[in-house]
């Protein structure tokens, strides 16, 4: 190989090396960004978990308070997953909530339903393919 051929080869390969270096740097920058982002993301997931617990506890407390005088099976108030939709299928529970909340009933139901939909949507968004959040 002559000197001109070697120089031509080096000059031809140089842009490929520069592009490979750029791609490698972008990969390194992405890893650095993820390293910075991960603790914030983990904190966000923890905060969402806390808010979900507060939501469930609030819903549970309102339902228990509203139905305290009723002598009925309250299995819909399962501790880990109070089911508003199932509870609202029971006319006795709807009446108890209406009496307990008065004029606030409609706003309460709208708010709770909106929050429940948002939590379910966020859960679906954050759920990985293996089913873990």
CA contacts within 13 A on the Cβ side of 93: 19
Is residue 97 domain-resident?
yes
**122 in a structural domain:** yes
What is the C-alpha to C-alpha distance for residues 86 and 8, in angstroms, rounded to an integer? 75
Q: Specify the pLDDT at position 116.
A: 82
**Is 31 domain-assigned?**
no
Contact 119, 55 (CB under 8 A): yes
Inside any domain, residue 16: no
Which pLDDT does position 14 carry in this prediction? 66
Return per-residue pLDDT of the chain as tens, 133 residues.
555 565 666 566 667 777 777 888 888 888 888 888 888 888 888 888 888 888 888 888 888 888 777 765 555 555 456 667 777 787 888 888 898 889 999 998 898 888 888 888 888 887 766 666 5
Domain with 100 in it: 40-126
Residue at 79 is within a domain: yes
Note the pTM of the prediction, 2 decimals. Answer: 0.61
Counting runs of H as helices and runs of E as strands, what totals does the chain give? 4, 0
Question: What single DSSP character describes residue 81?
Answer: -
Q: Which tokens hold the place of 119?
A: 């939590």
- Number of independent structural domains in the chain: 1
CA gyration radius, the chain: 29
Residue 30 forms part of a structural domain: no
> Distance (Å, rounded) from C-alpha 71 to C-alpha 9?
89
Structure tokens at 13: 């390969």
CA proximity to 52, closest of 107, 110, 7, 117: 117
How confident is the model at residue 6, as a pLDDT?
58
Evaluate the CA torsion angle 50, 52, 58, 63 in order and state its sign: negative
DSSP-assigned letters across all residues of 12-51: HHHHHHHHHHHHHHHHHHHHHHHHHHHHHHHHHHHHHHHH
Q: Is residue 15, in this structure, part of any structural domain at all?
A: no
Q: Report the pLDDT value the prediction gives residue 106, as an integer from 0 to 100.
A: 92
């Amino acid at each position: 190989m002559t000197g001109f051929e070697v120089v031509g080869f080096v000059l031809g390969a140089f842009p490929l090396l520069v592009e490979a270096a750029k791609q490698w740097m972008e990969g390194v920058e992405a890893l650095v960004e993820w390293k910075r982002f991960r603790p914030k993301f983990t904190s966000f997931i923890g905060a969402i978990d806390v808010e979900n617990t507060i939501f469930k506890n609030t819903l549970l407390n309102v339902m228990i308070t509203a139905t305290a005088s009723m002598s009925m099976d309250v299995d819909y108030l399962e501790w880990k997953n109070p089911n508003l939709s199932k509870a609202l299928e029971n006319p006795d529970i709807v009446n108890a909530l209406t009496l307990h909340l008065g004029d606030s009933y409609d706003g309460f139901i709208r708010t709770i339903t909106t929050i429940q939909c948002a939590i379910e949507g966020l859960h679906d968004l954050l759920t990985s393919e293996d089913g873990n959040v």
